Amino acid sequence: MHRQLTVNSDMAYYNNQVKHDIYGSKVIIYKRSDVGGDNWWLRLKIDGVKGYIRRSCKTDNAALAMRKATEDYENYKLRKQNNLSLENYTVAQYFERWIDGSTKTETRRKWISGVFERYIDEYMGSKLLTELTHEFVKGYWKFRLGYWHRDENAQRIEFNERRLANDGNKTKAKRVHAKSLSSRNIAINASRNTLRAEGSIINEMLKDARDDGHMVRTLRISIKDASTNADFVAEGEGRRASFSNDEMRYIRTNLLSYKNNTGKYKAVKLNRIHRAQRHMLYAFVMLAGSCGARVGELKQLTWKDLTVRDTDDIRRLEVRVRASTSKVRRERYVVAHSDSIIGIMDEWRNESDFNKDDDLIFYSAVSIAKGQQQVDLSLAFKKFLKTIEYGGREDGLYKTDEGKARTLYSLRHYYATQRLDNGVSVYLVATNMGTSVTQIHKHYGHNDTRRLAKELMAQKNTKEEKDTEAVVKQLTDMVKSGSVDTTIAVAALKQISGRFEN
């Protein structure tokens, strides 16, 4: 039986206090003198935690109130013992704190917030972090894949004839590229890359929630669980959509004609803004193919990020990717593989309306009137690829032989492929691109194997000389790149030392 406490005059705030029989004054329930109603309130004192935890028990029944106070106390005590935070947020509450404290770029934060508000919040925003389970988190895919197919959401899609699929029958045409009342563009059937990006948001947020002590274990969502459809699962895996050398020659030739307003791209009326946009696309594509930086990194470059260096009779362009604009939040310097890009960028700087050191190299057309804003050249590049006449293809060079759509990111993949084919070490390619050796092997391993075929077939004086030379080169490349795989390095050193011992 719980004991009724005597209320002192200086504790009039706490009326009718009841102390717990076992936990004593660490757990009490009381009625507040400054709040109307008969509900009981709880006050908990957790060892090692400054202050008290107070909240309403939301009941006027003393027994039920004490039961809740006891359960809360034991739960908080257990969380404290396991070094977990005593604050129990909903997913939406934690996301707000998480994104506000993020070091991501403003553009990235805005995009992540948009995705969360539209999809993630609706599915799990009201759930407490401590209530999340693996099965529930995994269920996001089912929710997301059916999102725009549910009646209540389908009604939000705005009808627009210009966005209908051109199949000759508008009454049955599908709104493949539609828009909602709150968004410029939506994809009714989300692509694998879109789902992968959303899954990354969820995984990163939940990992940080675990690290911050709000969850006992880390929960992860996998893109492999998004669909059982074989074609869907295969999309985006293995080789990335890229260009062959022959295709890139066609792109360069057509882009040059497009920039110079000649040949089939000649327009009778071409104002200065449109001419600058053509020139900008040419410069962007050439720079992307030459240095392999990410599209988002290139979009945020300023003129002061470009440096021309002359050393050992070699003239090269160095591109600084700032930590604030890098996906991995680390500054690095990217070296363009061809010195011809120097002249291309100099020419674009002379043509650009924004050519001061702190100005963006690539900017939106509205920037001229409203100041500098980042540009999205994705659609322009897609349309341009479709205009290229190549092998009688209906969509020009927009799709690969396997039917995969190409994007600006295909230029990054082209860069990786060509550098590997030209004998550049995988470690140096990974360092220049700002990614891991594992990712290079995963997506471009077929190129690495093809490149090594010549070395494997080459005639050396002896097998030992050949093997030793290969191992030494591997170690040297790792040191130069700053990306040393200790397991490989130790094995290589043991291999060399073993030969000398013999």
Per-residue pLDDT tens digits for 33-48: 777 788 998 999 988 8
Residue spans of beta strands (DSSP E) within 74-187: 157-158, 177-180, 183-187
pLDDT tens digits, residue range 171-191?
Answer: 444 444 455 545 555 677 888
> Residue 39 falls within a domain, yes or no?
yes
Q: Which run of H or of E encompasses 332?
A: strand 332-335
Comparing 228 with 283, the larger pLDDT belongs to 283
pLDDT tens digits, residue range 51-108?
Answer: 888 888 989 999 999 999 998 888 878 777 766 666 778 899 999 989 998 888 888 8
- Residues 35 and 181 reside in one and the same domain: no
Q: Is 261 exposed, middle or buried (0-12, 13-18, 19+ CB in 10 A)?
A: middle
Q: What angle do the packed helices 463-481 and 426-433 form, to 10 degrees?
A: 10
Average pLDDT, the chain: 79
Distance between CA 256 and CA 186 in Å, rounded?
Answer: 33
- Residues 72 and 97 reside in one and the same domain: no
Distance between CA 161 and CA 495 in Å, rounded?
Answer: 67
- Residues 380 and 252 reside in one and the same domain: yes
- Residues 76 and 139 reside in one and the same domain: no
- Residues 277 and 343 reside in one and the same domain: yes
Confidence of residue 481 (pLDDT cuts 50, 70, 90): low
Average pLDDT over residues 353-381: 83
> Residue 454 falls within a domain, yes or no?
no
- Residues 179 and 72 reside in one and the same domain: no
- Residues 45 and 130 reside in one and the same domain: no
- Residues 258 and 281 reside in one and the same domain: yes
- Which CATH number characterizes residue 338's domain? 1.10.443.10
> Residue 314 falls within a domain, yes or no?
yes
Average pLDDT over residues 436-461: 59
- Residues 115 and 66 reside in one and the same domain: no
Percent share of the chain, pLDDT over 70: 74
> Residue 451 falls within a domain, yes or no?
no
Q: Which domain holds residue 56?
A: 3-81
In angstroms, the Cα distances linking 93 to 90, 126, 206, 478, 500 are 5, 9, 13, 44, 63
Distance between CA 298 and CA 449 in Å, rounded?
Answer: 30
156, pLDDT greater than 90: no
pLDDT tens digits, residue range 312-342?
Answer: 778 899 999 998 888 777 899 999 988 899 9
Give me the pLDDT at residue 398, please. Answer: 93
> Residue 9 falls within a domain, yes or no?
yes
Instruction: Among 178, 202, 234, give the residue marking a domain's end.
Output: 234
140: CB partners within 8 A, 6+ apart: 120, 123, 124, 199, 202, 221
- Residues 200 and 286 reside in one and the same domain: no
| Most confident of the ranges 165-174, 221-230, 238-247, 396-405 | 396-405
- Residues 29 and 111 reside in one and the same domain: no
Instruction: Among 418, 445, 475, give the residue marking a domain's end.
Output: 418
Distance between CA 15 and CA 23 in Å, rounded?
Answer: 19
pLDDT tens digits, residue range 340-360?
Answer: 999 999 999 999 989 999 999
> Residue 269 falls within a domain, yes or no?
yes
Give me the pLDDT at residue 163, please. Answer: 46
> Residue 440 falls within a domain, yes or no?
no
450, pLDDT greater than 60: no
> Residue 109 falls within a domain, yes or no?
yes
Instruction: Among 81, 107, 137, give the residue marking a domain's end.
Output: 81
What is the tally of structural domains in the chain? 4
Comparing 475 with 299, the larger pLDDT belongs to 299
213, pLDDT greater than 60: yes
Query: pTM of the predicted model, to two decimals?
Result: 0.52
- Please name every residue paired with 128 in a beta bridge, in sequence order, or none if there are none: 90
- Residues 354 and 384 reside in one and the same domain: yes
